[in-house]
Amino acid sequence: MKTTDLAIIIPCFNEEEILPKTIKKLSDLLSSLIKKELISKNSKLVFVNDGSKDNTWNIIEKEHKKNTFVKGISLSRNFGHQEALLAGLYTTKADCFITIDADLQDDINVIKDMIKQFDNGYEIVYGVRKKRTTDSFFKRNSALMFYKLMKLLGVELVSNHADFRLLSKRAVEAMSEFKEKNLFLRAVVPLVGFKSTNVYYDRKKREAGTTKYPLKKMILFALKGVSSFSAVPLHLITLSGVLISTLSFILMLWTIFAYFNHSTIVGWASLMSVITFFSGITILFMGIIGEYIASIFIEVKNRPLYIIDKNLD
Ligand code: UDP
Ligand code: MG
């Protein structure tokens, strides 16, 4: 029986403090999964060094020499978490892929369940956090608000799922058809389709090192998520343009009416008319431009028009 070639992709940015532990834990996991015949002997750990300034790459190189599971890719500079994940996914050959953060805050024990679901025919398995007790009050609530906002803007996300997931080879290939550069993976993956399911786990605290996602990066990441996935803000300009220009028109009529019916201050009526007319029309025109930008936005993404699941020919 052919067992699955698994590749675990681990992005690393300045992770020297935790990396030796991570390598040990993941290697032990692979050995035990191989013993249980859930995965093949060719399975591997692919560490993607995302332009670390510390000893991260040295550790990976050294481990690669003595541990056959350990493979490494080093990027020319710091490109960011999402880009590092893609570099790992697109340069590695395997039957299925699991992406996980280097700090192992996500529970590696559910990797076994992910592979079982893959064997059951699921091509995407999302790791979903049960509760967020280990997060600060702020991180918990800001995350919740983010999911609500994205839903409102029409972007489908799996709640409480970050980038801990299993993808089949086919799912990764389909994902590579999404040519957009502003990649927000957790919104792209649901668009790939195929049979998918969730596994649930508790997320732990980071054991060593510090978070590589400080508030500033978190906000930029959220903004990127919105601006690269939703044209709703642009449509809102058109909507408010129509609304405001209608109101302005009514106000203008009233101004003219007032001019003829009660004595108004000299210059008031003409000024009011000009202001209301042009403010209405400006926002309306901005909305029209926005609509074109929205279509360009969709066109330049160059997303696949369809992805075939089965084909009986
Ligand atoms: N990471 C990366 N490049 C970056 C920032 C982060 O490859 O520019 C990696 C980091 O090494 C870790 C993962 O992305 O493996 C998630 O980062 P972290 O655990 O610091 O985020 P948090 O869990 O605090 O949200
Ligand atoms: Mg972390």
Q: What predicted TM-score, i.e. pTM, was given to this entire model?
A: 0.77
The 8 Å CB, 24+ separation contacts for 247-254 are 247/280, 248/276, 248/277, 248/279, 248/280, 248/281, 249/276, 249/277, 249/280, 251/276, 252/276, 252/277
Contact (Cβ atoms closer than 8 angstroms) between residue 75 and residue 60 = no
> Which stretch of DSSP H or E encloses residue 98?
strand 96-99
- Nearest ligand 1 atom to the CA of 212 is 20
pLDDT tens for each residue of 80-106: 899 999 999 999 999 999 999 998 888
Kindly give the distance from the C-alpha atom of residue 36 to the centroid of ligand 1, in angstroms, as a whole number: 31
Q: Which of 143, 155, 48, 158 is nearest to 99 (CA)?
A: 48
Angle at CA of residue 89, ends 205 and 55, nearest 5°: 55
The band of 2, judged by pLDDT with boundaries at 50, 70 and 90, is low
> Looking at residue 146, what is its pLDDT?
81
User: Which residues, chain by chain, have CB under 5 Å from ion ligand 2?
Assistant: 101, 103, 105
CA of 202 to the centre of ligand 2 (A): 13
Query: What is the sign of the dihedral through the CA atoms of 24, 173, 192 and 77?
Result: positive
- For ligand 2, the distance from its centroid to the CA atom of residue 103, given in whole angstroms, is 5
Taking only the tens place, the pLDDT of each residue in 34-88 is 999 889 999 999 999 999 999 999 999 999 999 999 999 999 999 989 999 999 9
Sequence-distant (6+) residues with CB within 8 A of 27 are 45, 67, 69, 70
Q: What percent of the chain has pLDDT over 90?
A: 41
Write out residues with Cβ below 6 Å of ligand 1: 11-13, 15, 50, 78, 80-81, 84, 101-103, 105, 211-213
